[in-house]
Structure 1
Amino acid sequence: MIQHLHDYIPVNSIKELSVYQKILDNTAILVLADEDRQIIYVNQKFCEKSGLKRDDVLGKPMDILRASDFSKDELENMWLTLEQGNVWKGELLNVQADNQTYWEEAVIYPFRSNGDKPYQYLSIGSDITPFKNAMQIKDQFLANMSHELRTPLHSIYSLTNLLEETTLSDEQSSYVENILNATGILMRMVEDMLDLNKIENGQIRFQSKIFNPQIIVNSLAKMFREKAREKKLNFHLEYDPSVPEFVLGDPFRLKQILVHLLENAVKYTQRGDIFLKCRLAGNNPESFVFEFIVTDTGIGIAKENLAMIQEKFQQEQMDDKRIYKGQGLGLSIVKQLIELQRGEFTISSGETEGTQVQFLIPYQFPLSEKADDPLMTNGSEPEKTHTMRVLIAEDVDINQLVIKKHMQKFGFNAEFAENGKMAIEKLRTGHYDIVLMDMQMPVMDGYEAIRIIRNDFPEPVKSIPIISITASVMGEAPRKCLEAGANDYVPKPYDIKDLRMKMEKWVNPTVNNQITQGMNMKQEEKKYESLIDLDYLEQLSEGDDDFTISMLSYFLENTPGVINELKQFHKDKDWKSLRNVAHKFKPQLTFMGIKSVFNEVETIEQNAANEVKTDDIPALIKTVEEICSKAMEEIRSELEKILDKNQD
């Protein structure tokens, strides 16, 4: 090692260099490789961590320890960076001699002269496995916490909404309003924590949808104008008429950003005005650049604190006391969400001078050839293709009914398999263009079925497009679906147009670029006034009353039996059957829009699957039974209205 580093460390003697080596041996994992990436030196720390002897690795490739499931793209990028003469820093997943894996944080230095190809590479690393394990525990804790908090919060919020519709005194109405406000704050806090965790782990994903920004801005202006009026503040909206009507981007994140900023503006302003401005800041051949400005005349922020409050969990303080309550996540999340969309965030303020937040976000043209979403044609008709043949692996009867309905409307031929094993059998004998694969099924789940298709089948079946469909939308579910071999991912409940677009995209990419998607972007702010919300069912039915009648009737006929099965399987301690019944009942709740007990049913499913907290299940079943009983009365009423309409 001394010989190899003599040219790179400025020391006056070999003895002094030996001191450096001893220090490094006790603190870092060292690897030195030649121009061909062959190892020419490793230190004792490397041997201790890897479980290998020095002679076992000398002359071997520098990547000898890399785990097989470590990203090949990441490795390629690493070597590309190094060969260009740049230092690389990152995390590496390695395998020890006993096949145990460990994470190493490494800095790799390329040594070269006169701009030539590097003639040596020095890696200085440290074991960060305990840190990675702690992060994994934290992620799991946040996922569990979000579920445990969401369940009671949604119950409180939904039941309080129902209470609000009853006859109340002024004092009681005030209490109800405060409960709703407090619950809303807690729910947003949970969502903020999850978003921040996703951002830190690089798991945040942005949609690419055609939307009308003015609809979002107008709806938020209406909401916050009322909030401002309650504090005797003036609310002003300026919307540039040159802003395009439709763009391609993430409408949910835009709304999330504006809600955070407007909430802060109202919260920290005691008198004066709130301004919301939207204008077109510029455009280029591929995108529009939107500028949004939120200004208030509130307490302002001391200039020396502007940078600090953009960090997570930080709020400005004065006289050692927090000025306003809150978790201090808002601006940190806003800033990162904007920058992750290739935008720019600036804030200017001064104590007692108010605050102005300005941000720029580029949105694509809806007609951009690079868009991943359905593209609008210039009056041209979609290309004619043969009828698509679809294999659908789905074990829930009501889900089969819904998907079959849509495949018929699309003009596609559909066949069903009740589990992954049946899907594989059908693929051996039938001919299909695409597979829609539910990921949670009995006998054989979607993950195993996809792996068999990708590994055991010959071409062209081996490469058949597969879209995974699952209700697991948290954590790493999308990544796991793709890693199993799926081409794409659709969450339940899926958007009909989104599903069709993805099917067209993978079966015929050329046709996908010509799909005409209607731009009637109906968006409403709707307050739930009942236990059911049939908006989603109306979207599914597309005006077909027979379909709606069949869905409503199915729920009325099926639900009492489901409740009885839940009770009986719990009594019998048949946890597998209990889990399956709860799993199959969730789609029915989604179709009927009975959101107030969805979390209870999901908890029953998870507790039964893991055989934990089984004593809590009877109370959950009782809640489900009570809410569903009331919801069924409303469903009967809706069914009668449709039947009466059809008789006229």
Structure 2
Amino acid sequence: MSNYLLLTCKSFYEDVVYSGLGGEPSISNRKQTIRFNQFILLILVANFVCVISYFSYGLYISALINLSAAYIFIMAYQLNLRRHYLFARLLSVLNLNVYLAVMNYMEGLNAAEYFYYWPYFLVITFIVSFKRNLLELTFAYSVTLLSLWFCYTQCPPENHYQVHIANMFTKLHDSNLVISLALTAFFSYAILRINRNNEAAILKEKQFVDTIYNTSLDGVFILDAEALIITDCNSRAVELLEIGNKKDIVGAPMDSLFTKEHIKIFRGMEQHPGEAGKGWQGELSFTSQKDNTVFAYVNVVPFVDDTHHFWKISILDLSEIKMTKFELMKAKQKAEVASLAKTRFLSNMSHELRTPLNGIIGTSNLLLQEDYLPEQKSHLDVLRLSSEHMMVLINEILDFNKIESGKVELENVPVNIRSLLKKVEAQFSMQVQEKGLTFLIDVDDKLEAEFLTDETRLIQVLSNLLSNAIKFTQEGFITLGARKVSSSSKRSVVQFMVKDTGIGIPANKQQEIFESFTQADTDTTRKYGGTGLGLAITKKLVSLFAGELLLDSREGLGSTFYFSAELEINENAKQYINDEKVKKLPSFGKIRVLMAEDNAVNMSVARKLMNKWGIEVHEAVNGREAVEKFRKGVYELVLIDLEMPEMDGVTALSEIRKVDQDIPAIAFTAAVYEDMRADLMKKGFMEVVPKPFRPEELHRKISMLLKSTA
């Protein structure tokens, strides 16, 4: 039972004392708030004791005054909870002084209510900080002195308004003396305990600072800027400069450790009397006590302590970094020399090898064109093919060296993907036929646009992949493909693919084959030959297109190499509209079509085509203008681009549908994404014409929509 009461009292005490601390950022404010709450709690307990004693003596007016004062103290406590700290303290000081003045007047000086001024003076220093709240403390003392003056000048020795019992003043005098002494002793003990805790906190803080100071990675020196002596240093400084003992350096002249150049730099810092000067940072070298050189990054901070100037020197050891940097520079120089030697060697060797090889290849071709014995044909073919193979190997090594040195830059010229693939097909069709393989070309119908890219390097990538596919495939087929993955009005992502039904690549070798001078296994090298550079070169070339060469292969079933490249659409490409199919397309008669397109070239081409078909085209350069024109005019069909400024095509169509729900609408777009057609149908479009468009396809879809709404 006693433990329960003790825990209840402790819980009540903590609830009262630690209230009003939520979100208080300052530690000093938190402490001051706690002290104020302790003061209020103690005052209320003292008031409670006094009220009981007054009721027992029949001093009802005194009891009423105590209750009124307690009520005002509770108001101050509530102000403190609401963070009106200053008002709470001022109200408490004023209330306490008024209470003492009134009590001294009602009971008389012989009752000795003025004894409570003893603990009160201690209370003021307890809850009011002298350094931070001087004005507040001045107010408190002024009110207290005024209250004391009132008591000693205006209060009678004895007042019999409520005192009618003999010796009552003596009893009041003794009880007030005991209570005031108890309060004074309590507050004295509290102040002594706070001071002791503050001293412990200061010592702990100093110990913490010393720990940080001595465990810093920087060597730190404190120098007297006026006497030019070393006043202090940390453990890292002793270790860094190989000083035997800290006592050997503290108090020593500055030039015993720092050179004249160092001191000149320190003195060159700008300083002003009474304030810290401008610091300095930079790299310096020091000589340790054992004559070892220490390279360091130094930070010098001037500061003033009690009008005396000091320098704080922080030294971060850079010796290992300097040595590593020096070794790296030496290694770099060696690598550059080796690279230059390799480049010169390859250049010279290529010239020396190509010259006789050109002679051998040329002579072989001449011999094959002249009369020769039938049994010599196989020998001449071996001579020609071997020399051509040697030329391929030399070219691969030179290409690899050029790419490795970063000297390959992509061109940016107009390229038609269909035409490019036809060139590659023509280059390899004879080789494929000679091996009895089927050569398939799979080109996406949407790849009609002209792109800006490097045709030569793109052909080189596809040629390398096809050469490998032909080399490692004995039967079946080889496929060269390209398809549009996604597209916007400016750029398209195109995926290229070379597929074969050859020997395939084991799963554990599929990463190694992209490394330089590496093939799947030694049997492959012996059987098929090669340097192992083809795929390494191809992978690096693909990376220049911001793509990644990927592989899907199963041993014995063939391989598929593929990569994607984001290509810029050539907006200035001429649209081919003079095809025979276009000339034979019939006219629609006089119909009105609203076309929304922000690209002037696309608008011009489409308008000319539709004019030839008898269509009256009304132009809008953005979605908002299209909606406004549709509201004012009458149209049989709308042709809307999806990507336009101010208002996109989907939003524009939704506004047009509010005017006419049945108007035929065609999406005119260069964008490509998964389930695009189904998505656009849900959004109100009836057909989709991808850009660049085929005139016959546009004509067919317009004709189909007009017939369905007739």
Q: Would the TM-score normalized by the shorter structure come out above 0.5?
A: no
Q: Which has the higher contact order (CA 8 A, sep 6+)?
A: 1
The answer to which structure has the higher helix fraction is 2
Structure 1 or 2, whichever has the larger Rg, is: 2
